[in-house]
Amino acid sequence: MSNVTVIGSQWGDEGKGKIVDWLSEKADVIARFQGGHNAGHTLVVNQVTYKLKLLPSGIVRKNKISIIGNGVVIDPWALLDEIKQLEKLGIKITEKNLYIAENATLILPMHKELDGIREDTKNTDKIGTTRRGIGPAYEDKVGRRAIRVMDLANKNNLSKRLDMMLFHHNSIRKSLGKSKINKKRLINDLAKISSKILKYSTPVWKKIEEFKNKKKTILFEGAQGLLLDVDHGTYPFVTSSNTVAGSASTGTGCGPNTINYILGIVKAYTTRVGEGPFPTELKNEIGNKIGRKGKEFGTVTNRKRRCGWFDAVLVKQSCIISGISGIALTKIDVLDQFKDLYICVGYKLNGKRVNYLPSALSDQFKVKPIYKRFDGWLENTQGIKKWKDLPVKAKKYVNFIRDYCGVKVSSISTSPKREDTILLENPFKKN
Ligand code: IMP
């Protein structure tokens, strides 16, 4: 069996939940490596619905180890709340089935507040963040002033670390006309929850090494999508972490050679939440119809997602940057009732054709999609489980994506139900 990394290959919300759930049933260990509680997905296991934001998908299954890696930013109060909600549903979460990296960065209330202030200001472009404090927490991490999980273990050390952090935050707050952070209260608030977090804390990189030596199968669970990557996405309209597959290694502390298969989740059309460039966006009734059929509303913020045609240029770019081994194509059934379908196969920029999304934001807003038209299949694909049963026109659509991106399609999802999947290749089996 091999270790698998799953990532979103568009702007997030590709339907990772269902695929990750299927994979986590087969894995022994499930590790999150980036992002925080800005991610969100719903799992339905044995008729019970679980809403996860920060915890890895394996947490709802018995005899699985869940890991929150050092690349994740953790709001300790949000984490404890999520644990409580799951415990109410009968899930047992202990230091035996949850490990949290001792060197993971904490999201503190000031991060959330700053995220909100920036989103509300009229002076800069709004990013459309989830307002969870993700960006400000990552800024403190790379600014070398963050509070990390293990800092909670020592009050003196915590106090010193906070001085560094508050020096920075209070100067920003002063310029914004906000009151200084009450350090004593913050230390007291953290003291109340420290032991509840610290009990899960461990050097995660060592644990992963142990699991590798025991030949356990590890699933690395990505959040968001490649086009929200802070380096490779539509910067600055991105999240603040690296969402590319390579991040699984840095975000948990295992060598890149730990991972044998990279599964890119790809939705059969394109969506994005929040602001930013979106070349194939359909601001018309077709876009609304895709949104209605695909139930395109955010899990975390309940915002309506922007919808558009499949952008093969972007997905190919994702496949290359993340080294995707196979595509899990999701939500193909949403396209059942469209007479014409379009796939973007290039862009026009300043009168020239380009075959990738340039990095300059101004160009990303300017590119005009070049489309290839496909006949819609106008047949019900919902619930299909075998490739041979897919309408010929749907097969043509899927095969085009495969050929254009140069990556095989490992599965096709034909409804939100787990069993409604056409499985063409098992990522865990050494191929
Ligand atoms: P942040 O991650 O809250 O800082 O938000 C930055 C951008 O990433 C915004 O456009 C968000 O809408 C987007 N984003 C963050 N998390 C997700 C997700 O899980 N799915 C889709 N978009 C997300």
Q: What is the DSSP letter of 389?
A: G
Residue 48 has what pLDDT?
A: 87
Q: Domain 265-423 classified CATH 3.90.170.10? A: yes
Q: What does the alpha-carbon distance between residue 56 and residue 21 come to, in Å, rounded to a whole number? A: 10
Task: Output phi, psi for 5, to 5 deg.
Answer: -110, 135
Going by C-beta distance under 8 Å and a sequence separation of 6 or more, which residues neighbour residue 199?
95
Cβ–ligand 1 distance for 233 under 6 Å, the answer no
Q: Domain 105-197 classified CATH 3.30.420.610? A: no
**With contact defined as beta carbons under 8 Å apart, do 45 and 61 qualify?**
yes
Cβ–ligand 1 distance for 135 under 6 Å, the answer yes
Tens digits of residue pLDDT in 180-192: 999 999 999 999 9
Confidence class for position 430, pLDDT limits 50, 70, 90:
low
Tokens of 152: 């909670």
Cβ–ligand 1 distance for 4 under 6 Å, the answer no
What Å distances lie between residue 270 and 38, 154, 277, 334, CA to CA?
A: 20, 47, 12, 12
Tokens of 29: 């260990």
Residue 117 has what pLDDT?
A: 94
Q: Mutate which of 20, 37, 38 to test ligand 1's pocket (most atoms within 8 Å of Cβ)?
A: 38
Catalytic pick from 13, 21, 229, 311?
13
Mean pLDDT of 52-64: 94
Catalytic pick from 21, 37, 41, 140?
41
Q: What does the alpha-carbon distance between residue 133 and residue 138 come to, in Å, rounded to a whole number? A: 9
Residue 303 has what pLDDT?
A: 83
Distance between Cα 379 and ligand 1 center (Å): 34
Residue 347 has pLDDT above 80, yes or no: yes
Percent of the chain whose predicted confidence (pLDDT) is above 90: 90
Query: Which helix (H) or strand (E) element contains residue 261?
Result: strand 261-267
**With contact defined as beta carbons under 8 Å apart, do 269 and 335 qualify?**
yes
**With contact defined as beta carbons under 8 Å apart, do 53 and 14 qualify?**
no
Cβ–ligand 1 distance for 271 under 6 Å, the answer no
Mean pLDDT of 377-384: 97
Q: Mutate which of 125, 239, 242, 275 to test ligand 1's pocket (most atoms within 8 Å of Cβ)?
A: 239
Tens digits of residue pLDDT in 397-418: 999 999 999 999 999 999 988 8
Percent of the chain whose predicted confidence (pLDDT) is above 70: 99
For the four alpha carbons of 82, 84, 88 and 91, in that order, the dihedral sign comes to: positive
Residue with tokens 């549903």: 89
Q: Give the global pTM.
A: 0.96
Distance between Cα 130 and ligand 1 center (Å): 6
Domain ranges of the chain: 4-103+201-258, 105-197, 265-423
Q: Cβ atoms within 10 A of the Cβ of 22, count?
A: 17
Q: Mutate which of 227, 228, 301 to test ligand 1's pocket (most atoms within 8 Å of Cβ)?
A: 228
Mean pLDDT of 106-133: 92
Cβ–ligand 1 distance for 132 under 6 Å, the answer yes
3-state secondary structure of 374: strand
**Could you please report the per-residue DSSP string of 207-251?**
HHHHHHHTT--EEEEEEEEGGG-TTTSSTTSS-SS--STTHHHHT
Tens digits of residue pLDDT in 24-50: 999 999 999 999 999 988 887 888 889
Tens digits of residue pLDDT in 199-211: 999 999 999 999 9
Cβ–ligand 1 distance for 111 under 6 Å, the answer no
Cβ–ligand 1 distance for 222 under 6 Å, the answer no
Looking at the chain, the number of H-run helices and the number of E-run strands are 12, 20
Bond preceding residue 136 cis, omega within 30 of 0:
no
Residue 431 has what pLDDT?
A: 54
Residue 37 annotated among the catalytic residues of the structure: no
Nearest CA owner, ligand 1 atom 16:
38
Pick the CATH number of 4-103+201-258 from 3.30.70.1140, 3.40.50.300, 3.40.1710.10, 3.40.440.10: 3.40.440.10
Q: What does the alpha-carbon distance between residue 381 and residue 421 come to, in Å, rounded to a whole number? A: 11
Tens digits of residue pLDDT in 247-271: 999 999 999 999 999 999 999 999 9
Tokens of 356: 């990738």
Q: Cβ atoms within 10 A of the Cβ of 373, count?
A: 9
Cβ–ligand 1 distance for 129 under 6 Å, the answer yes
Residue 111 annotated among the catalytic residues of the structure: no
